[in-house]
Chain A
Amino acid sequence: MFWQQESETIERKRLEELQLGRLQAVVRRVYENVPFYRKQFDERGLAPGSIATLADARKIPFTTKEDILAHYPFGLLAVPREEIVRVHTSSGTTGKPKAIFFTKSDIDRGADLIARCLTMTGMRKNDVLQNMMTYGLFTGALVMHYGAEKVGVLIVPAGPGNTDRQITLMQDFKTTAIHITPSYALYLADVLDRKGIDPRRDLSLKRAYMGAEPYSEETRKKIEQFYGIDVYNSYGLSEMNGPGVAFECERKEGMHLWEDNFLLEIIDPETDEPVSDGQKGEIVLTSLCREGMPILRYRTRDLTAVLPGPCPCGRSHRRISRIFGRTDDMFIVKGVNIFPQQIENILMGVKGVAQNYQIVLESLDHMTVQVEIARDLFDGNVTHLVKLQNVITDRLKNEILVKPKVELHEPGTLPVFEGKAKRVIDKRTL
Chain B
Amino acid sequence: MAALLQLSVFAENRPGRLEKMTKVFADEGINILAIYISSIGDFGAVKLIVDKTDEAARSLKEKGFTVSLNEVLGIELEDRPGMLYEVVRVLGKHAINVENIHVLVIESRHTAYLIVEVEDVAAAKELLKNEPIRFY
Contacts and interface: CB of A to CB of B under 8 A. Distances in A.
Contacts of B61: 194, 375
A410 B66 contact: yes
Contacts of B43: 382, 385, 407-409
A375 B45 contact: no
A180 B8 CA distance: 34
A378 B64 contact: no
B11 interface: yes
- How many A residues are at the interface, by size bracket? 10 to 19
B37 to A, nearest CB: 10
B67 interface: yes
B123 interface: no
B31 interface: no
A228 to B, nearest CB: 22
Contact of A410 (B8, B10, B70, B99): B10
A194 B64 CA distance: 7
B111 interface: no
Interface residues of B, number: 25
A21 B86 CA distance: 93
A194 B65 CA distance: 9
Contacts of B22: none
A409 B66 CA distance: 10
B12 A409 contact: yes
A381 interface: yes
A379 interface: yes
A384 to B, nearest CB: 10
User: Binding site of A, secondary structure by majority: helix, strand, loop or mixed?
Assistant: mixed
B62 A194 contact: yes
A386 interface: yes
Interface string B45-70: 10100000000000001101111111
A174 B45 CA distance: 40
A188 to B, nearest CB: 15
B40 A380 contact: no
Contacts of B47: 380
Contacts of A378: 8, 10, 66-68
B40 A382 contact: yes
Given A380-B45, A380-B70, A381-B99, A386 B8 contact: no
A410 B40 contact: no
Most chain A beta-carbon contacts within 10 A, residue among B10, B44, B69: B10
B12 A380 contact: no
Contact of A413 (B12, B38, B68): B12
A114 to B, nearest CB: 37
B95 to A, nearest CB: 18
Contacts of B65: 410
B67 to A, nearest CB: 7
A381 B120 CA distance: 13
A327 B93 CA distance: 62
A380 B8 contact: yes
A373 interface: yes
B42 A408 contact: yes
Nearest to A374: B66
Nearest to A409: B12
Interface string A362-378: 00000000000101001
A412 interface: yes
Contacts of A373: 10, 66
A383 interface: yes
A372 B32 CA distance: 27
Most chain B beta-carbon contacts within 10 A, residue among A373, A382, A411: A382
B125 to A, nearest CB: 18
A407 B13 CA distance: 11
Contacts of B69: 380
Most chain A beta-carbon contacts within 10 A, residue among B17, B41, B61, B66: B66
Give 9 nearest A-B pairs by CB, closest first: A380-B8, A380-B68, A412-B64, A378-B66, A375-B66, A382-B38, A380-B70, A378-B68, A379-B68
11 contacts: A375-B67, A378-B8, A380-B6, A380-B70, A381-B8, A382-B39, A382-B44, A410-B10, A410-B11, A411-B64, A413-B12
Given A382-B39, A408-B43, 9 more contacts: A194-B62, A378-B10, A379-B8, A379-B70, A380-B6, A382-B44, A383-B99, A411-B64, A413-B12
Interface of A: 194, 373, 375, 378-383, 385-386, 407-413
